[in-house]
Amino acid sequence: MAEQSPYSEKVMDHFMHPRNTGEIPDADGIGTVGNAICGDVMKMFLKIENDVIVDVKFKTFGCAAALATSSMVTEMVKGKPISEALKITNKAVAEALGGLPQVKMHCSVLAEEALRSALKDYYTKQGKPVPFESKEHKHEGETCL
Ligand code: FES
Protein backbone atom coordinates (compact mmCIF):
# COMPACT_ATOMS: atom_id res chain seq x y z
CA MET A 1 0.00 0.00 0.00
CA ALA A 2 2.53 2.59 -1.05
CA GLU A 3 0.10 4.62 -3.19
CA GLN A 4 -0.98 7.88 -1.62
CA SER A 5 -4.65 8.59 -2.22
CA PRO A 6 -6.00 12.14 -1.94
CA TYR A 7 -9.17 10.58 -0.53
CA SER A 8 -10.00 9.59 3.01
CA GLU A 9 -10.64 5.94 3.88
CA LYS A 10 -14.34 6.68 4.16
CA VAL A 11 -14.47 8.18 0.67
CA MET A 12 -12.69 5.11 -0.70
CA ASP A 13 -15.07 2.81 1.19
CA HIS A 14 -18.17 4.53 -0.20
CA PHE A 15 -16.59 4.67 -3.66
CA MET A 16 -15.75 0.95 -3.65
CA HIS A 17 -18.96 -0.12 -1.88
CA PRO A 18 -21.62 2.51 -2.57
CA ARG A 19 -24.75 2.19 -0.43
CA ASN A 20 -28.31 2.44 -1.75
CA THR A 21 -27.50 2.26 -5.45
CA GLY A 22 -30.24 1.54 -7.95
CA GLU A 23 -33.74 2.80 -8.64
CA ILE A 24 -37.09 2.92 -6.86
CA PRO A 25 -39.66 2.08 -9.55
CA ASP A 26 -42.58 3.74 -7.72
CA ALA A 27 -40.58 6.65 -6.32
CA ASP A 28 -42.49 9.64 -4.93
CA GLY A 29 -39.78 12.04 -6.04
CA ILE A 30 -37.03 11.80 -8.64
CA GLY A 31 -34.28 14.34 -9.11
CA THR A 32 -31.63 14.47 -11.80
CA VAL A 33 -28.81 16.96 -11.69
CA GLY A 34 -25.72 17.39 -13.79
CA ASN A 35 -22.43 19.13 -13.37
CA ALA A 36 -22.17 21.55 -16.27
CA ILE A 37 -18.39 21.41 -16.39
CA CYS A 38 -17.50 17.73 -16.19
CA GLY A 39 -20.83 16.30 -17.36
CA ASP A 40 -21.21 14.03 -14.34
CA VAL A 41 -24.81 13.18 -13.53
CA MET A 42 -26.65 12.05 -10.43
CA LYS A 43 -30.20 10.74 -10.25
CA MET A 44 -31.92 10.28 -6.90
CA PHE A 45 -35.13 8.39 -6.09
CA LEU A 46 -37.11 9.02 -2.91
CA LYS A 47 -39.92 7.13 -1.24
CA ILE A 48 -41.74 9.39 1.19
CA GLU A 49 -44.37 8.55 3.81
CA ASN A 50 -45.82 11.11 6.23
CA ASP A 51 -43.03 13.57 5.40
CA VAL A 52 -40.36 10.99 6.21
CA ILE A 53 -37.86 9.68 3.65
CA VAL A 54 -38.45 5.97 4.10
CA ASP A 55 -36.29 4.85 1.19
CA VAL A 56 -33.72 6.38 -1.12
CA LYS A 57 -31.66 5.09 -4.01
CA PHE A 58 -29.31 6.73 -6.46
CA LYS A 59 -27.46 6.33 -9.72
CA THR A 60 -24.38 8.42 -10.32
CA PHE A 61 -22.18 8.60 -13.37
CA GLY A 62 -19.21 10.45 -12.07
CA CYS A 63 -15.91 10.62 -10.29
CA ALA A 64 -14.98 8.93 -7.02
CA ALA A 65 -15.97 11.99 -4.99
CA ALA A 66 -19.35 12.24 -6.72
CA LEU A 67 -20.06 8.57 -6.11
CA ALA A 68 -18.94 8.65 -2.48
CA THR A 69 -20.94 11.79 -1.66
CA SER A 70 -24.02 10.35 -3.36
CA SER A 71 -23.70 7.19 -1.31
CA MET A 72 -23.13 9.12 1.92
CA VAL A 73 -26.06 11.48 1.41
CA THR A 74 -28.44 8.56 0.96
CA GLU A 75 -27.27 7.14 4.30
CA MET A 76 -27.71 10.53 5.94
CA VAL A 77 -31.29 11.12 4.75
CA LYS A 78 -32.76 7.63 5.01
CA GLY A 79 -35.35 7.52 7.79
CA LYS A 80 -35.20 11.30 8.31
CA PRO A 81 -38.08 13.77 8.09
CA ILE A 82 -37.86 16.01 5.03
CA SER A 83 -37.25 19.04 7.26
CA GLU A 84 -34.11 17.37 8.68
CA ALA A 85 -32.90 16.18 5.28
CA LEU A 86 -33.10 19.73 3.94
CA LYS A 87 -30.58 20.88 6.55
CA ILE A 88 -27.91 18.61 5.08
CA THR A 89 -25.41 20.63 3.09
CA ASN A 90 -22.72 19.45 0.72
CA LYS A 91 -20.17 20.50 3.34
CA ALA A 92 -21.83 18.26 5.94
CA VAL A 93 -21.70 15.36 3.49
CA ALA A 94 -18.02 15.99 2.80
CA GLU A 95 -17.32 16.20 6.54
CA ALA A 96 -19.14 12.93 7.17
CA LEU A 97 -16.77 11.39 4.65
CA GLY A 98 -13.74 12.66 6.53
CA GLY A 99 -13.25 15.57 4.14
CA LEU A 100 -12.64 15.94 0.42
CA PRO A 101 -9.70 17.48 -1.42
CA GLN A 102 -10.53 21.15 -2.10
CA VAL A 103 -10.64 20.62 -5.88
CA LYS A 104 -13.27 17.94 -5.37
CA MET A 105 -15.56 19.91 -3.06
CA HIS A 106 -17.78 20.92 -5.95
CA CYS A 107 -18.50 17.24 -6.63
CA SER A 108 -20.33 17.08 -3.31
CA VAL A 109 -22.74 19.75 -4.56
CA LEU A 110 -24.26 17.16 -6.88
CA ALA A 111 -25.46 15.12 -3.90
CA GLU A 112 -27.11 18.09 -2.19
CA GLU A 113 -28.67 19.29 -5.43
CA ALA A 114 -30.03 15.86 -6.38
CA LEU A 115 -31.71 15.59 -2.99
CA ARG A 116 -33.33 19.00 -3.32
CA SER A 117 -34.35 18.29 -6.89
CA ALA A 118 -36.01 14.99 -5.87
CA LEU A 119 -37.84 16.74 -3.02
CA LYS A 120 -38.97 19.47 -5.39
CA ASP A 121 -40.34 16.79 -7.71
CA TYR A 122 -42.13 15.19 -4.76
CA TYR A 123 -43.88 18.44 -3.78
CA THR A 124 -44.75 19.20 -7.40
CA LYS A 125 -46.28 15.74 -7.87
CA GLN A 126 -48.28 16.26 -4.66
CA GLY A 127 -49.56 19.55 -6.03
CA LYS A 128 -48.01 21.35 -3.05
CA PRO A 129 -45.84 24.45 -3.08
CA VAL A 130 -42.12 23.74 -2.75
CA PRO A 131 -41.20 24.90 0.78
CA PHE A 132 -37.58 25.79 0.04
CA GLU A 133 -35.55 27.81 -2.43
CA SER A 134 -33.38 26.17 -5.02
CA LYS A 135 -29.71 26.80 -4.64
CA GLU A 136 -27.49 27.85 -7.46
CA HIS A 137 -24.70 25.46 -8.31
CA LYS A 138 -21.65 27.63 -8.16
CA HIS A 139 -18.20 26.47 -9.10
CA GLU A 140 -16.56 29.55 -7.64
CA GLY A 141 -13.47 29.17 -9.74
CA GLU A 142 -12.81 25.60 -8.73
CA THR A 143 -11.53 23.29 -11.39
CA CYS A 144 -13.46 20.17 -12.14
CA LEU A 145 -10.81 17.47 -12.37
FE1 FES B 1 -17.42 15.91 -11.93
FE2 FES B 1 -16.49 15.13 -9.63
S3 FES B 1 -18.52 15.60 -10.14
S4 FES B 1 -15.36 15.52 -11.42
Q: Which candidate in 42, 65, 107, 115 is catalytic?
A: 107
Q: Does residue 73 belong to any structural domain of this protein?
A: yes
Residue nearest to atom 2 of ligand 1 (CA): 107
Q: Does residue 89 belong to any structural domain of this protein?
A: yes
| The total number of residues written for the chain in this structure | 145
- pLDDT exceeds 50 at position 143: no
C-alpha neighbours within 13 Å on the C-beta side of residue 6: 9
Q: Does residue 67 belong to any structural domain of this protein?
A: yes
Q: How far is CA 109 from the centre of its chain?
A: 7
Q: Does residue 68 belong to any structural domain of this protein?
A: yes
pLDDT value of position 1 = 52
**C-alpha 63 – ligand 1 centre gap (Å):** 5
pLDDT digits (tens, 9 = 90+) for 55-112: 999 999 999 999 999 999 999 999 999 999 999 999 999 999 999 999 999 899 999 9
Whether 144 sits among the annotated catalytic residues: the reply is no
Distance CA 57, CA 76 (A): 12
Q: Does residue 43 belong to any structural domain of this protein?
A: yes
pLDDT value of position 37 = 72
Q: Does residue 139 belong to any structural domain of this protein?
A: no
Q: Does residue 131 belong to any structural domain of this protein?
A: no
Indicate whether residue 35 lines ligand 1 (CB < 6 A): yes
How many structural domains comprise the chain? 1
Q: What residue numbers bound the domain in which 99 lies?
A: 9-124
Look up the CATH number of the domain holding residue 81: 3.90.1010.10
Closest CA to 14 of 84, 62, 81, 86: 62
